[in-house]
Amino acid sequence: KVIGIKRGWGGLIDIVRDPQYDNSGNFFELTEEIVNKAGRTGGTFLHTSRTRASHVPKANVPKHLQDKYLDDINDLTPEVLKNLEFMGIDYLIPIGGDDTLSYAVRLSKESVKVVAIPKTMDNDVPGTDYCIGFSTCITRTIALTHDLRTAGSHERILVLEVFGRYAGFTAMLPTLAGAANRCVIPEYEFDIERLTELLCEDRFTNPSKYSVVLVSEGATFSGGNMIFQSEETDMFGHKKLGGIGNMISQQLKELTPQFNHGQVINTITQRLGYLVRCGDPDALDSIVPMAYGNLALDLINKGLHGRLVILRNGRYDNAPIEIVTSSKKIVDVPKFYNTERLRPQYNSFEF
């Protein structure tokens, strides 16, 4: 029997351990009928949350536990362990990015039998070359960038902001595919004057007189900091990013006269955001999840746990789950990013 836990770790801390209590808002059985429909329509039908069960603010402690957990920040792991036992869970299969899976590492150390699956469009889970969602994100980014080439009608510079807090893969790969002229990524602080010079050059050499830059939301100006929408943080300590695209767009417009014979070049700014993480999955994101699910089941049937299913060097495999917290997976700038040209390296693909 397969049980779906709703809202990630949020559903797992909210369970009331009473057989008579209606916990359907926290978990339900994944029947063949439900799974078949989800397989056709896609979507996070179990829902999601930014819950970190080991660091729950007092205000977010479930109502039935508020008399027990009174600290400003509370570790509800003891409740999670009891809830898993109450539900009769033999194996736990968390599916998510490095934040979600970092808590899975904690549960594995607490003797929970965990088999993890990497899923994040940022593709930044250590230990695997591929995370579910990345290909669809890249495919949609390329398509939307092409759709927005109306910038050519107005002879402007097009600035597109995409997700990517610490890793710039979602800006790098569409640029590598030719969707954009330049990209700026979190791993390298860029010089805005140099970016302006390059985009003006790209626009001048383009018969339609426009150019395109993809901007990771975590990118920073030289000597600057990340741009946040507010100072409020989630349970993982992350402030909500957003706004770097607008700032770059404004400064590009102000600087363009230096590289365009004194004439201002107007800009168009668009934040792609959730447009690239919705809709139908592409072919790769239909195949890899099927493989990852079967790999996880194979490990369970062999009685193995404490593993992360992965795709590495073109082969499916698995690795110790601790690899998730062992390092950060980011763009290798010297190998893959041309800091002078502010775009991917094109000189060699023999890595």
Is a pLDDT exceeding 80 seen at residue 97? yes
Q: How many whole angstroms separate alpha carbon 168 and alpha carbon 187?
A: 7
> Alpha-carbon dihedral of residues 333, 334, 335, 337, nearest 10 degrees?
50
Confidence of residue 267 (pLDDT cuts 50, 70, 90): very high
Rounded mean pLDDT of 332-344? 95
**Are 133 and 187 spatial neighbours (Cβ–Cβ below 8 Å)?**
no
Helix, strand, coil distribution of the chain in percent, nearest 5 = 40, 20, 45
Choice among 81-85, 146-150, 252-256 with the minimum mean pLDDT = 146-150
Q: How many whole angstroms separate alpha carbon 325 and alpha carbon 50?
A: 18
Choice among 95-99, 190-194, 232-236, 266-270 with the minimum mean pLDDT = 232-236
Rounded mean pLDDT of 37-59? 86
| pLDDT tens profile 169-188 | 999 999 999 999 999 999 99
Q: Which of 68, 11, 2 is nearest to 38 (CA)?
A: 2
Confidence of residue 224 (pLDDT cuts 50, 70, 90): confident
Is a pLDDT exceeding 80 seen at residue 238? no
Q: What is the pLDDT of residue 173?
A: 96
User: Quick check: helix, strand or coil at residue 160?
Assistant: strand
Q: How many whole angstroms separate alpha carbon 257 and alpha carbon 236?
A: 43
Is a pLDDT exceeding 70 seen at residue 56? yes
| pLDDT tens profile 105-163 | 999 999 999 999 999 999 999 999 999 999 999 999 999 999 998 888 899 999 999 99
User: Quick check: helix, strand or coil at residue 138?
Assistant: helix
Confidence of residue 351 (pLDDT cuts 50, 70, 90): low
